[in-house]
Structure 1
Amino acid sequence: MKWKTAASRYAEEITHLLEKVLGEYPMLPGELQKAMGYSLFSGGKRVRSFLALSSAEMLHLPHEKMLHFAAAVECIHTYSLIHDDLPAMDNDDLRRGKPTCHIVYGEDIAILAGDALQTMAFEIISQAPQLTASEAISAIRILSSASGLQGMCGGQSVDLFQAGKSIAQQDLELMHRLKTGALINASIRFPTQLAGLPAHENELLHKFSQAIGLGFQVQDDILDIEGSTEQLGKPQGSDISADKNTYPALMGMAGAKQYLQQLHDEAKQALLALPYNTEILLSFTDYLFSRNH
């Protein structure tokens, strides 16, 4: 598939840039920088940076303009995973098939690694040579909004608060639109803003990002039951063990799979209505909704 070629190229570029940025910091005593690199280069799918870069390519934006933003998105995503895995949060021992950051480096260093990656993200954007000052401010505004109270942090707090409690579908969707969907939406929102798209095209791309953001979580919930620890790279059944609200728990497995198909259709319909070459994003969407890890 063409998306695999693009994804491999993008991931290589992102990794090279992040290695360069992290390598430019003076080495401090202790293991903070090692812990940051351990999680940052642990072989993730780079979904969010792929969406940023492929959306920019579809909209004929200069690749260099988007590269630093995409790298910053990966820093934010990685920081969130480090903190999510902590004993006070999801208490996971495995991530991407490897011991989680706090298992290897201790909780104190893991917390600091997440904090440092979060701030490094905004440093990367502020120093992006291809972005104007106003473009960098826009990128920071979009990314910080997706990361904080109205994004990942807010969603995670709702997740913790609702664990073990009965929850309506609209509340479950709100939680995941914040926790998972906000950063996915931000990855697409910045390139669309740079492109200055008409309102109806912006709306279509917003519908696309909303659908894949929710679909990503629905598929994760299904895989938590049907996948294996080896496939997932993290403990199978961890959501059930933590008594978390999931789509299969709320809708039943058949209902969750039906909803997943609905979201898949919505995402593809939004892309097909755009006046651009959406081939790569369409094939990537098919992968996201059928992945086994």
Structure 2
Amino acid sequence: MSAFDLKGYLEAKRVVVEESLKGHLATLTPSVETRVAQAMAYSLMAGGKRLRPILCMAACEAVGGDPETAMKAACALEMIHTYSLVHDDLPAMDDDDFRRGRPTCHKAFDEATAVLAGDALLTSAFHLLALDRGPRAEVTLDVIRLIADASGAFGMIEGQMRDIEAEGRALDLGSLRELHGLKTGALIRASVESGAVLGDAANGEREALTRYAEKIGLAFQVTDDILNVEGDPDLMGKGVGTDAEHDKATYPSLMGLEESKAYAKQLVEEAVNALAVLDERANPLKALALYVVQRQR
């Protein structure tokens, strides 16, 4: 694993994903010149780690599948993730002015346009998913169900609601884990599981990948909480200290900063161990697990 070139892998996958996203955007709106289409493109093509689509393709590869078969799902996942950020930045939610180093969607356009752009990204993601038909229609339906569950009231939306309700309240560690398992972890888990399904994973492989995804989803949120305390805003492209300003329930506020770092590392070790049943094709996923806690943005 030490010889694996994660930087090169991430860059190659990012380029492929962004080219695909550009192509799909042109077909999922009546015209790229409409205000909503411009706002969608502004947010979707603003850069970012593209972690969820890359996890989807890497999981597909890990079970011997062709990552190209996971491309529509990968792009749909990024569209859903971006919609969640657009809405999360709104004044009624986290009220953030910057995202990925530039003004948030509602600052660059206006609040109504940002709401509608987020709505359009979400619905367009499922339009894109539904384009995968033919002999693998049952696989497509399985992926749609996985992603719908993760992004709706059984996953991310419920997590966002609990996050809002938790502001100014003391949570125990179990409740915080559950909140973030929904808010952040659900879509990460769906990204990995979707790739596994599209790669025709055997039952044991899918179970291993699901365990892996649950661990890195939680590690990702713990690291996000840490970065909000001590991250570099120039590297992150957004402000730090906002969790404390909003009196949010976070791992550093509950466990302390050093204990949170140790917990994130423990979760990554457990994630890597979950992949023991897979061969060297899972090396990108192992390296991605380490990246989750070592990243600076």
TM-score range, shorter chain: over 0.9
Given candidates 146, 152, 157, the residue that maps to 1:148 is 152
1:17 pairs with 2:27: no
Contact 2:86–2:105 (CA under 8 A) maintained in structure 1:
yes
What RMSD, in angstroms, separates the aligned Cα atoms of the two structures? 1.7
Q: Which residue is equivalent to 1:2?
A: 5
- Give the structure 2 partner of residue 48 of structure 1: 52
Instruction: Report % sequence identity.
Output: 40
SS at structure 2 position matched to 1:277: helix
The residue identity in structure 2 corresponding to 1:93 is D
Length-normalised TM-score, structure 1: 0.95
CA distance in 2, matches of 1:131, 1:105: 42
Q: What CA distance in whole angstroms lies between the structure 2 residues aligned with 1:17 and 1:266?
A: 33
Distance 1:129 1:196 in 2: 16
Runs of 4+ residues deviating >6 angstroms = none
> Aligned partner of 1:160: which letter?
I
Shift of residue 270, structure 1, vs aligned partner: 1.2
The answer as to whether partners of 1:147 and 1:153 remain within 8 angstroms in 2 is yes
Matched to 1:147, the amino acid is S
1:266 pairs, out of 254, 270, 280, with 270
Q: 2:213 aligns with which of 209, 212, 215?
A: 209
Greater relative contact order (Cα < 8 A, sep 6+): 2
Q: Distance in 2 between matches of 1:40 and 1:244?
A: 27
Match of 2:97 in 1: 93
Q: Secondary structure at the match of 2:256?
A: helix
Tell me if 1:76 matches 2:47.
no
Task: Report SS of the residue matched to 2:263.
Answer: helix
Q: 1:156 to 1:73 in 2, by over 3 A?
A: same
Distance 1:58 1:273 in 2: 11
Shift of 1:131: 7.1
| C-alpha distance in structure 1 between counterparts of 2:274 and 2:60, whole Å | 17
Give 3-state SS (helix, strand or coil) of 1:132's partner: helix
Aligned to 1:137: 141
Which deviations, in whole Å up to 9, do the C-alpha atoms of 1:73-132 show, x marking residues without a partner?
Answer: 000000000000000001100101111000011000000000000001011111136772
What letter matches 1:70 in structure 2?
A
Measured after TM superposition, the shift of residue 272 of structure 1 is: 3.1
Q: 2:71 aligns with which of 67, 72, 79?
A: 67
Counterpart Cα distance in 2 of 1:89 and 1:19: 28
How many angstroms does 1:160 deviate by?
A: 0.2
Aligned match of 1:233: 237
* 1: CA distance, partners of 2:216 / 2:52: 11
Matching residue within 245, 251, 270 for 2:255: 251
Partner of 1:170: 174
Compared CA separation, residues 196 and 16, structure 1 to 2 (3 A): closer
Q: Which range moves more in the overlay, 56-65 or 190-199?
A: 190-199
